[in-house]
Structure formats: structure tokens, C-alpha cells
Amino acid sequence: MAEEKVEEKKGSKKKILFILPVLALLLAGAGGAYIFLFKKPNKEKENKVNLYQVGVMFDLGVFTVNLADTNTDAYARVAITLELSNEKVRQEVDKRLPIIKDAIIDVISSKTSDFVRTPEGRESLRLELIKRLNIILVEGGVRNIYFTEFVVQTS
């Protein structure tokens, strides 16, 4: 009789050891299915991804502009690339290219060499140009401006 109880305990332990992993797999599968089927997408993550995607690039070329220094002759040679939000804005930039270039020349030539030589001055110039170009473009959409070359010379 004692031997039968020992064998019954061994048999029930084997059943439990078999049932527990199967039960754990079923619960994990049910939890995964619930998350996959019923969880709402996180829109904040989607928006963050869009912020880090590079927009459409448009090379405006090189601008050589006299600066607003009064005591000395100074000029800046600046290569500019625009980052646009989409292809539609790129088409609008193509149509308004002379107006855009004129605005860029106007803004840069209003600055002094001391101003544009500092990092803060270049950042201020960048922000002013973005604001000015977005006013010109009906669609808006200039995300950023990159100075791919920036040389200032005074004599």
C-alpha cells in the first residue's frame, strides 16, 4: 500500500510538470494575442518617428553677399541647402526660386561680419531665414536650413 502511494505521487508530479509548461505557454500566447489585437497604436511614437525622418533636400547653391559692416568691406560666401517637408513644397520652391534667392540675399546682407561669425549669430540667421522663406511659400514647409559652406572675409 505504501508503494502504491509513492507511485501515485510520482505520477501526479509528472502530470503537474507536464501541465505547468503547457499552461504557461497558453497564457503567454493569450496575452500576446490580446496585445496584438486590442492594443491601440501609440501615436506619440509615430509622431517622434516623423520628426526624425529627413525631409526633401533642395540645394540653393552658393551666395556671395556684401555684409552690412560700415567701417570695412566684408562679404560672406554661403552655400545653402533647404530641408523641405515634402515634394509639393519642392515644386513650389522651384516656382518661386528668384523670390527665395532675393530674400536670402536681403537677410544675409543686413548682417555684420561680427554677427555672422558667432555660432549664435549663424543660428539666429538660420531661424530668420526659415521664418522668411515660410512666409514666401504658400505651403510653408521649410523644416531647416543647412549652411554647407560659410566663409566671412573682411578687408
> What are the tens digits of pLDDT across the range 79-101?
999 999 999 999 999 999 999 99
pLDDT range class, residue 49, cuts 50, 70, 90 = very low
CA atoms of 99 and 28, how far apart (whole Å): 62
Tell me what pLDDT residue 13 has: 66
Helix, strand or coil, per DSSP, at residue 70:
coil
Cα–Cα distance, 151 to 95 (Å, whole number): 29
Say what angle helices 97-109 and 119-136 make with each other, to 10 degrees.
150
CA angle 45, 140, 138 (to 5 degrees): 145
**Mean pLDDT over the full length of the chain:** 84
When mean pLDDT is compared across 36-45, 47-56, 99-108, 125-134, the lowest value belongs to 36-45
In the block, residue with C-alpha cell 521649410: 142
Contact status, residue 63 vs residue 108, Cβ threshold 8 Å: yes
Span of 9-23, 89-103, 134-148 with lowest mean pLDDT:
9-23
Question: What's the predicted TM-score (pTM) here?
Answer: 0.67
Q: Report yes or no: 110 and 68 within 8 Å, Cβ to Cβ.
A: yes
Judged on CB neighbours under 10 Å (0-12, 13-18, 19+), 116 is: buried
